[in-house]
Amino acid sequence: MDRAVEALVGAHSSDPSSVFLSARARVEGFEPGLLEEALYERRSLVRLLGMRRTLFVVPTELGGVMNEACTKALVPGQRKRLIAMLGEQGVAEDPSRWLDRVSTRTLVALESRGEASARELTAEVPELATKLSFGEGRTWGGSVGVSTRVLFLLATEGRIVRVRPAGSWTSGQYRWAPTDRWLEGGLPDVPRDEACAELLRRWLRAFGPATTTDLRWWTGWTAKLAAATLAAIGAVEVELEGRTGWVLPDDLEPVTAPDPWIALLPSLDATVMGWKERDWYLGDHAGTLFDRNGNAGPTIWADGRVVGGWAQGAGGEIVTRLLEPVGDDVAASIDAERERLERWLGDVRVTPRFRTPLDRELSA
């Protein structure tokens, strides 16, 4: 279980069910309890905010690396944004001081409880119930409790961590715990340069060869930081059909073609989201399989290429659609995997958090 997550550098967790479906596609005999045990009992895996302000499940020893290489850079912007919202909406005359006070009280309440839900913390810190509006006049506008923003900021700062959710493995209503209590000693401190180098080595090991555009998109780094870190690890330039790519210096030998394989990968799967420049495995299917913000929906893979998409219908049936012609053997393998996934899910219903055109059509 842990090796599968490590091989991906981390599993996307913005959509709660995606982590489990990604593991199911890669780990023989996988059941949700295996991942829950690693996350909540052994704690060899942990759910943290990381690259591109995205939630990941990563090996615990990688948590400090990701935090230093990517997450810490997000804190000033997130704090500034929340303070601006508090001030503009008249929550406090001194929103910075108000935020510090409420954050401190929230941490004290959480330390006292050990772990708690947002609702439980709001009962002890009433200010967390304050409503903030967003997107006024737009179709996606609405309101959100201050608790959501404060807890998100505390998590970005590495002070608290998401733990077991209320409900099943498809739920995103996580409980919270102080990081240094959930993980013995908290997240390790790693020098910034060392953290960036380690993260890049792991990513290139998993996703190389890849371009600088891929690297910057995946990490959220500046061009300067990306270039400096590539140089620091001795990455080697290679030609990728008219583009320049990068590989690790010990990864230059030709790779033996694997045996034929197919997979039904979930929305936001780490492999689908591993690169920014995707034509070589996605073809011209982005408009069908991704939403407007670049979030991937469920995909069907055959021998390293996306050949279609899938969705779960209201009755639990798995519905597929091929977007490229495939041979009879591949089509039969895809259908067999569809049946296996349908049996595995049973009564569980999975709806991707970010809906794509094909997903909406197939699940209707």
Domain boundaries, the chain: 1-190, 192-255, 262-363
Helices (H), 50-162: 60-66, 75-88, 95-113, 118-124, 146-156
Of 145 and 347, more confident: 347
* Pick from 306, 300, 256: nearest CA to 280: 306
Q: Please tell me the CATH code under which domain 192-255 is placed.
A: 1.10.10
% of the chain surpassing 90 pLDDT: 93
Of 119 and 134, more confident: 119
Name the pTM for this structure: 0.93
Q: In this predicted structure, which of 128-132, 190-194, 195-199, 224-228 has the lowest mean pLDDT?
A: 128-132
- Mean pLDDT value across residues 2-16: 95
pLDDT digits (tens, 9 = 90+) for 326-350: 999 999 999 999 999 999 999 999 9
CA distances 233 to 6, 125, 228, Å, are: 20, 47, 9
Mean pLDDT of the chain: 95
pLDDT digits (tens, 9 = 90+) for 174-208: 999 999 999 998 998 999 999 999 999 999 999 99
% of the chain surpassing 70 pLDDT: 98
Q: What is the pLDDT of residue 142?
A: 74
Question: What is the amino acid identity at position 144?
Answer: V
Q: What is the pLDDT of residue 138?
A: 58
d(CA 106, CA 141): 27
